[in-house]
Amino acid sequence: MSEIDLTQYKGVWCFGEVRHGKLVTQTYELLTIGSRIAKELNEKLSVVLVGHNLQGWTQELLEAGAEKIYLLDHPELENFTDEAYTKALAELAAKEKPNKILIPATTVGRSMAGRLATILHTGAIADVTDLTLGPGTNGAGGRALNAIRPTYGGNLFVTVRCEKCRPEIITVRPMSFPKAARTPGKIGEIVNVPINPSSWNLKTKVVSYAPEQSSELDIGSADKIVSGGRGLGKPDNFNLVRSLAKALGAAVGSSRPPVDSGWIPYRHQVGLTGRTVKPKLYVACGISGQIQHLAGMGQADTIIAINRDPECQLMKMATFSVEADLNEFIPLLVEEIGKQKN
Amino acid sequence: MPLNVIACIKQTPATGAIQLDQKGEIVTSAMTYGISPLDEYALEEALRIKERVPGSWTAALTMGPAKAQEILRESIARGCDAVYHLSDDAFEGSDTYATSYILSQGIRKIIAEKGKVDLVICAKQASDGETGQVGPAIAAWLDWPNVSFVKKIEETTDKIIRVVRMMEDGQDVVEMALPALISVVKEIAEPRLPSLKGKMAAKKAVIPTWKAADISADAAKIGPGGSPTVILKKELPPKRSGGMKIDGATAQEKARKLVEKMKELKLL
Ligand SMILES: Cc1cc2nc3c(=O)[nH]c(=O)nc-3n(C[C@H](O)[C@H](O)[C@H](O)COP(=O)(O)OP(=O)(O)OC[C@H]3O[C@@H](n4cnc5c(N)ncnc54)[C@H](O)[C@@H]3O)c2cc1C
């Protein structure tokens, strides 16, 4: 890598993800950690929005802490493509020279970060769960982040630094930081960035989008998840899981066997070959807690295990373990939760 | 029109508890290695294209130490037409930026030999580093379009590929001009087992191994010196304190006690 003057790079950017016309809530989590870092560096906190018809989000982002908002607004950017979004961001970053770029570790964010980093010849650090500002490597202006991330299925935590290059690009795992509070009426700078995607020779286009049919919450950004495993015994028993999820306001997850048996779609699978989640509450019903399942949910704050077998791994590691038959226990639990609410 | 397809795969240790030595490095002696679980799906889809589009050619490509040849033999056993091994001490310690550069240089050399490569398939992420950044970064080095989180290939022609991308709020259908790169999720296809004939072929195969010079790799872009990121520290995860058993004479009593606990933690 060639040496660059790190002190030229100033400002903390948060990528504000607008997905299918909605601003994703992880943007507010980025603003919490972004503002902490920006204050410590005494640099500006900005949000970059890429898409189309973005004006509507600016006021709430300013109120949530952004001092400046860059709008990369163009009809051709309405739907996410790796090519167009990384091109748009790279052009702006090359011109403005930000110090840090924080991106949510969502489908869009994780898809984009590696490509963006390569175009900018800098480092990207994926799916980070904690971030602090570390010392500099070359002078006071070069302070790099200490980024902590789980690897090897949550069995090893590594602290990664991007010392020689800027901007540092970091994707942040959803639910790792609280959402930023709003200060009503706060104002800031809004920059409409002129862009011309037709000159980019793009080779990707989004043909169509089919929204998820069910009104269920997605496990990726849910506070609470209730998951079912092979212990459910039959596909219909996901109704038990759903009833508990409904009572708790939780999303529905699954271990792998029910997915492989076609009881529930793949998008609900938690684990090594499924998705990684970090909810406040994870309720595992009839799941034994094999290492490949723990890889996806081991970072949950509170874990409740409901299982017939008190000796299984999940029962041993859970915050609260309940030895019970789920067929009997879940309806009773739903009833008790109902009583609390009334 | 036949397609030339490359699956990029990695040899990783089976997921399990990690041991660190006194210097804080991973103790690898007790680990068992194989194809990274999600890479099996990338390899499988590459093989299925060959079956769907007659005349197509499928190869597996890996960067790694000598031992990584094992997964290339496994790829031949499953039906790959060719395999390529990028292996050089100078590659060791590469981060995702440097690794993707090395793999892209390997792909360039394969293109030079084969005349063309239409599609590169990676997995969503590897089971060790779990970054998911290498696939998209390879596409950036090659200046190819790419799509991640692909759960289905709807169509390929000689000019385009149309795929379904899994999103948090539904699914997108995305079309790219070829050549292109996709990163796939488990849903794409169920991996096959090696055939007996394949196993025989794998035993006999001579695997081409390319060093940095063979792929014209720029020394400034490989290994620790070519990596923008460094690992400062490796630690074992904090042990979960865990372990409160919710007891009760009846299931109802247990339910009541659990709800009390949830209330205390403001989880209701
Ligand atoms: C490469 C690889 C990748 C993998 N990826 C994943 C992954 O992403 N996600 C994943 O989950 N798994 C994954 N697995 C599979 C994993 O190893 C386990 O097989 C799986 O997690 C087991 O699921 P389970 O706990 O639901 O089933 P089981 O292990 O069969 O456990 C069922 C549990 O239900 C309990 N039970 C049964 N009946 C009742 C009842 N009536 N009431 C209460 N409890 C009951 C039993 O006591 C038992 O503990 C992977 C495996 C491999 C090899």
**How is residue B45 written in tokens?**
């889809």
A190 lies in the same domain as A224: no
B198 lies in the same domain as B242: no
A16 lies in the same domain as A121: yes
Q: What does the alpha-carbon distance between residue A128 and residue B131 come to, in Å, rounded to a whole number? A: 10
Domain boundary among A165, A199, A233: A199
Q: What does the alpha-carbon distance between residue A201 and residue A204 come to, in Å, rounded to a whole number? A: 9
Asked if residue A146 belongs to a domain, the reply is yes
Q: Kindly give the distance from the C-alpha atom of residue A263 to the centroid of ligand 1, in angstroms, as a whole number.
A: 14
B208 lies in the same domain as B243: no
Kindly report the nearest CA distance between residue B189 and chain A, in angstroms: 12
Number of domain units in chain B: 2
State pLDDT tens for residues A37-54: 999 999 999 999 999 999
Q: Pick the closest to residue A221 from A269, A151, A278 (CA basis).
A: A278
Backbone angles phi, psi at B45, to 5 degrees: -65, -35
A118 lies in the same domain as A169: yes
B136 lies in the same domain as B199: yes
Low-confidence ranges of chain B (pLDDT < 70): 242
Give residue A7's pLDDT: 86
Q: What does the alpha-carbon distance between residue A15 and residue A49 come to, in Å, rounded to a whole number? A: 6
Q: Kindly give the distance from the C-alpha atom of residue A258 to the centroid of ligand 1, in angstroms, as a whole number.
A: 9
CATH code (residue B146)? 3.40.50.620
A327 CA closest ligand 1 atom index: 41
B157 lies in the same domain as B255: no
Contact status of A224 with chain B (Cβ, < 8 Å): yes
Give residue B242's pLDDT: 67
Number of domain units in chain A: 2
Asked if residue B12 belongs to a domain, the reply is yes
A315 CA closest ligand 1 atom index: 49
A257 lies in the same domain as A287: yes
CATH code (residue A61)? 3.40.50.620
Q: Kindly give the distance from the C-alpha atom of residue A228 to the centroid of ligand 1, in angstroms, as a whole number.
A: 9
At residue A342, does pLDDT exceed 80?
no
B222 lies in the same domain as B242: no
**A135 Rama sector, left if φ>0, alpha if ψ -120 to 50, beta otherwise:** beta
Asked if residue B232 belongs to a domain, the reply is no
Using a CB-CB distance cutoff of 8 angstroms, which residues of chain A are in contact with residue B228? 1, 117, 121-123, 162-165
* Contacts with B173 (C-beta within 8 Å, 6 or more apart), sequence order: A206, A207, A208, A209, A210, B154, B162, B163, B164, B165
Dihedral angle computed from the Cα positions of residues B124, B129, B134 and B135, in that order, rounded to the nearest 10 degrees: -10
Using a CB-CB distance cutoff of 8 angstroms, which residues of chain B are in contact with residue A111? 132, 136, 147-149, 183
B38 lies in the same domain as B106: yes
Asked if residue A193 belongs to a domain, the reply is yes
A89 lies in the same domain as A117: yes
Closest CB to A114 among B96, B230, B233: B96
Domain boundary among A199, A229, A247: A199
B14 lies in the same domain as B67: yes
The rounded Cα A133 to chain-centroid distance in angstroms is 20
B216 lies in the same domain as B242: no
More confident: A21 or A64: A64
Look at A2-11, A254-263, B133-142 and tell me which has the smallest mean pLDDT: A2-11
Give the angle subtended at the CA of B231 by the CAs of B226 and B234, to the nearest 5°: 155
Beta bridge partners of B35: B11
Kindly report the nearest CA distance between residue A185 and chain B, in angstroms: 31
Give the whole-number percent of chain B exceeding pLDDT 70: 100
Asked if residue B263 belongs to a domain, the reply is yes
At residue A138, does pLDDT exceed 70?
no
A168 lies in the same domain as A266: no
Asked if residue A214 belongs to a domain, the reply is no
The rounded Cα B167 to chain-centroid distance in angstroms is 19
Domain enclosing residue B138, as ranges? 4-226
Asked if residue B151 belongs to a domain, the reply is yes
Domain enclosing residue A314, as ranges? 219-341
Band (A2; pLDDT cuts 50, 70, 90): low
Given a contact cutoff of 8 angstroms between Cβ atoms, the answer to whether A128 and A161 are in contact is no
* Contacts with B34 (C-beta within 8 Å, 6 or more apart), sequence order: B11, B12, B14, B70, B71, B74
CATH code (residue A242)? 3.40.50.1220
A47 lies in the same domain as A175: yes
Q: Kindly give the distance from the C-alpha atom of residue A246 to the centroid of ligand 1, in angstroms, as a whole number.
A: 23
Give residue A141's pLDDT: 57
Asked if residue B233 belongs to a domain, the reply is no
Contact status of A340 with chain B (Cβ, < 8 Å): yes
Asked if residue B231 belongs to a domain, the reply is no
Q: Does the beta-carbon distance from A218 to B263 stay under 8 Å?
A: no
Asked if residue B116 belongs to a domain, the reply is yes
Asked if residue B137 belongs to a domain, the reply is yes
Q: Does the beta-carbon distance from B235 to A158 stay under 8 Å?
A: yes
Average pLDDT over residues A197-213: 95
B16 lies in the same domain as B53: yes
A43 lies in the same domain as A88: yes
Asked if residue A336 belongs to a domain, the reply is yes
Asked if residue A213 belongs to a domain, the reply is no
Asked if residue A207 belongs to a domain, the reply is no
Average pLDDT over residues A152-170: 96
A280 lies in the same domain as A143: no
A162 lies in the same domain as A261: no
At residue A139, does pLDDT exceed 60?
no
A126 lies in the same domain as A268: no
Using a CB-CB distance cutoff of 8 angstroms, which residues of chain B are in contact with residue A342? none
B155 lies in the same domain as B95: yes
Band (A329; pLDDT cuts 50, 70, 90): very high
ipTM entry = 0.96
